[in-house]
Amino acid sequence: MDNAFLGPLLSAFGRSFLSKRNRGKSTGKKNIHRMGFLLVAAWGFFIASIVALIIFIIDFSRGWLNSGGIIAFIAAELVIIFSCLLFYAWYRNAYVEITRTYVLRRTFLRFVEKVEYRRIRDFGYYERTDRDNNFEDGLYIDGPYNDEGYFGEGIELHSNWVNMSYVLGQLAFRIVNERWAEPESDEDQNLIQEYVSSGRAREICLEQSGFVFPENDNSPYRESKE
């Protein structure tokens, strides 16, 4: 069960419930992004379980429940509690970690996808509006091909639940300066933040979407053409 399972819900509600912490944080050396909507859903089910329990106690004390009603309540309460725990576990397990050296994405089932900036082979960035005229953007980055001719590393990010500005800044820095930013260099990191704050990172990534970094271009198709 991952983003694809509740894609429409996340698309509709992600912008509203995206954690303010995620929106406002500037990436220093480490930054964790989680889906705030999932935590809200977990709290919603928790509150619903408390309300249902109160109603049950009142009805039971007044003798309004028969054995069938008691069984139905227990079943409903278990479903609500399970849903609460499920959404909270999803919130805790699934996240994106953005640092000065890599991007890491962990799914609900704890599968990990990780790409170091210096190993990025190509990227794609897009912006669009949905049917309700809400803005959204997405980014995918791929590492070099593996020995079997497939991408061994790759991550896809979506603005509904992660602030990807710093990653765009890293890509823009590489394109403009023809080298990757040094993680411990304050000068390089300040320049990345300047690209982000000015909007230049977004513009560069839009213009250069599909760009292939030659130092990591080990495509078997390129070799066959040569």
Q: Report the C-alpha gap between 212 and 118 in whole angstroms.
A: 12
Q: Is the pTM of this model over 0.85?
A: no
- Would you give per-residue pLDDT tens digits along the chain (226 residues)? 444 444 444 444 444 444 444 444 445 555 889 888 899 999 999 999 999 999 988 888 888 888 888 898 999 999 999 999 999 999 999 999 999 999 999 988 889 999 999 999 999 999 888 777 778 889 999 998 887 777 778 899 988 778 999 999 999 999 999 999 999 999 999 999 999 999 999 999 999 999 999 999 887 766 544 4
The answer to whether residue 43 is domain-embedded is: yes
CB atoms within 10 A of CB 14: 23
Could you tell me if 93 and 110 are in contact, meaning their C-beta atoms sit under 8 angstroms apart? yes
Question: Are residues 61 and 139 located together in one domain of the fold?
Answer: no
Q: Report the C-alpha gap between 197 and 122 in whole angstroms.
A: 23
The answer to whether residue 172 is domain-embedded is: yes
Question: Are residues 177 and 106 located together in one domain of the fold?
Answer: yes
Could you tell me if 141 and 123 are in contact, meaning their C-beta atoms sit under 8 angstroms apart? yes
Number of domains within the chain: 2
5-11, Cβ contacts within 8 angstroms, sequence gap of 24 or more: 9/37, 10/35, 10/37, 10/158, 10/160, 10/161, 11/130, 11/136, 11/160
User: In one letter, which amino acid is 216?
Assistant: N
The answer to whether residue 106 is domain-embedded is: yes
